[in-house]
Amino acid sequence: MSEVPSTTVARDDLFGLAAEFTTTPGIYHAAEKTRAAGYTWFDCNVPFPVHGLDRAMGVKMTILPVFVFFGGLTGLILACILQVFTNSLQIDLWALVPVVGYQFEVSGKPLIGPAAFVPVAFEMTVLFSALTAVFGTFFLNKLPMFYHPVLKCPQLARATDDRFYLVIEAKDPKFSLAEVEAFLHTLEPESVIALEK
């Protein structure tokens, strides 16, 4: 087993320790054992999606679908208000009473007809849902992130090619350099690497 000694990085500059694996079962079982050991601030860097890895890590369901639902609902409500305002009613802001606005009857159809609302309401719902999904993803993932300590380590560059890494961060409440290093060795990795901030 090749190893980068943890003593090469000063304790104050230590971001965490990484264990290198060459197989998907290796990283999967390592994530299970790390979670079972009580570590909460750890992550897995893999070159492709590993089925079930999020469950093995104990990753909880995201709140993004709730945000997207309310974003779409906002779009639907705004589309209906817009159409009612432009097609039939205006509000006299000084008197705060509705007054008849831009009435435009075509072939005797009703001014506030639900069928006519469908295209605009659908498009606004989809637009607001999509924008909420995009910006919600950026917000929840703290993007854009222009620097991350894992990217500083040249050995971890293989995480985009053919290696799997489990990183336990130094801010974990259970983190003790000697204990974490000993624990990572019990997972039988190819190497243990100290990561600098």
Contact in structure between 76 and 129 (CB atoms under 8 Å): no
In this prediction, residue 73 carries a pLDDT of 98
In this prediction, residue 83 carries a pLDDT of 82
Contact in structure between 18 and 166 (CB atoms under 8 Å): yes
d(CA 76, CA 51): 36
In this prediction, residue 129 carries a pLDDT of 98
Query: Hey, what amino acid is at 4?
Result: V
For residue 148 the two structure tokens come to 């991350």
Which mean pLDDT values do the consecutive 10-residue runs of the chain (197 residues) have? Answer: 51 90 96 96 96 95 97 96 72 60 65 81 97 97 90 91 95 94 96 93
Query: Hey, what amino acid is at 175?
Result: F
Beta bridge partners of 91: 98
- Closest to 45 measured CA to CA, from 172, 140, 162, 177: 162
Query: Hey, what amino acid is at 14?
Result: L
In this prediction, residue 152 carries a pLDDT of 87
d(CA 146, CA 148): 7
In this prediction, residue 1 carries a pLDDT of 41
d(CA 197, CA 177): 15
Residue 118 CA from chain centroid, whole number: 32
Is beta strand 97-100 parallel, antiparallel or unpaired with respect to 191-196? unpaired
